[in-house]
A and B are shown apart, each in its own frame.
Chain A
Amino acid sequence: MDGDETVVADLVTTACSGDRRAVARLLTLVERGGEPADAVAEATHPLAAGAQVVGITGAPGSGKSTLTDGLAASLAEAGRRPAVLAVDPSSPLTGGAILGDRVRMEAAATAGAFIRSMATRGHAGGLALAVPGMVRVLDACGFDPVLVETVGVGQVEVDVVSVADTAVVVVTAGWGDAVQANKAGLLEVADLFVVNKADRPGAHEARRDLELMLDLSEVTGQAVDRPAVMLTTATEGTGIDDLWSAIQAHHGRLVTEGRLVGRRTRRHRAEVRSRLEHLLTEAVEDRIADLPALPDGVPGTVARRLAAELLGE
């Protein structure tokens, strides 16, 4: 694929010089996967300077997009070069998607932030493959920080956010009580909580429930760094600056306590792992497609025998 490599090398040079069309083109190549995506990864890896990555997640309607808009807008106004990756779900039936995050991101767009919408494209961990590669492109092109916004409903979305430098989980008043807060899942990956729509009744109760849950985490010794719980009203811009200060404080602690390296190693491992899974899945699909008929026998035993063949044992 020498042709691809030349095209990609030219695109990367153009993108790094500030051409947003070339940046967008590279993101498309990564999102589509295959050999061009590998060529982009090879070309951008050495250029990535280690941009700060912030994950923002929460239930649909919690105000993630508006919060992300506020953060990106104020960062751009302060002279930073923020980029946003906004993820929305694909339809499992048709593969189509309505990506509506830009509707709430006018301030960031006006302030000059680079915003890219993407669909989960459903199948087999595609998001886990595409997001790290797209973050790498944005990083290589000089964007910093990179804000990754996802609906935190599936394991993959949680994984994507949990490998950010700072994972922000957004809830709203009335999202649940102290028992909900102690259920496993999304809340466990938070480095920071935001109770958004704080102008509505119940916001302080929501904060109290989260603090109670965090007290319990300290009792069981699970908490390394107790997450702050911030109150925001994103539509009014209230609390956005404090939220960014809290994100910076968390990032600062990661650096001074030597934990940032560990996080980024974890991110690297997670990416290698999802690429390996992807390669193995492809090999499995090819093998199954090549078989004229599946051998008779107990499914588990047949699978073991095929696995041994595939892995060359």
Chain B
Amino acid sequence: MGNDAVEIAINTIKLVVCFLLIVQAVPVLVWLERRGSAFIQNRFGPNRIGPLGLMQLLADAVKFLHKEEFAPAKAVKFLYYAAPVVALVPATLAFAAIPLGAPVHWDQYVFPLQGYEVSVGIVFVLAVSSLAAYAILLAGWGSGNKYALLGALRASAQVISYELALGLAIVGIIMTYGTFNFGEMIHAQEGPLHFSFMGHELVLGFLPNWGIFYQPLGALIFFAASFAESNRLPFDLAEGEAELVAGFHVEYGGFKMLLFFIGEYGHMIVASALMATFFFGGYGLGFMTLAELSASVATVVQDPNIVSLVTSLITFAVFSVKLAVFLWIFIHVRWTLPRFRYDQLMDLGWKTMLPWALFNTILTATLIYVGHL
């Protein structure tokens, strides 16, 4: 945690802030989703309460808190109440390990702008988010409802299937940068596009040095699989209103339902953050390296502590913009595409994405081997 009281205090506060970030982003995302869907479908959406309808979120939250506390008679009580809590944990744990900005150097301290630093961050995030299937299964079985159980089986089978494609799609980018660490990966994506291939130095100055230019196929598979991982349209077979009423959370109401909601949006946020970190330079500015940025900040202010702080805030803003773009794509896709049929979903996962991800891995390995020869 740290060596003295100041460091321990700051690190503890950071953990709380990371948790609150994800919980507080959810109402905003819900508002964005409702306004965005209205925009796409040529409606108004919530626009009565507060400016732009923003207070609608507060009204919703209060409503959820005041709903009757209710558990179905056939439910297994312990699992029924445990499931919403379990749903919240993986997304928040995973998000806390993703760097949101450049580390702050303040006197002798170094504070990374993330909940905690894990040296093999990618493995950690994959490991923690693979536990999300338990929340779905617990909710489906614990509710004592056929529809809930069917929804849970669908959702967990989907999550497990697409985890493979997701993991394999990342292997390419891990091989390209040769690291499991988010910080090192972001550092490797700084500056304009430059790489050495078979002894030739190649520089493409008009493009940033981002992962997507090395791994376009991997990026595509990763992004598509992350839609399925977070149970969003076009892969929201778990909900399938016409077939399953509402899926695994059909027996949940009030704040318990809201916890599932936060978990689902949390997965979306984690997926967007990973997408930005792997393929779009993370908190990096694209053409400008971190050293150049902090040098240009240093021309305005002198104090090195303030320079470091301002640099990190700028990188945090850059990261937030990238995150927001991907979140908006998530929402836009949901209101644009129809739902897959279940056999199509499994075909896409196992027969299309997995072979292509394997091909991408082999291709990357070959290119790296040939390129470094």
Our verdict on whether A and B bind, yes or no, reads no
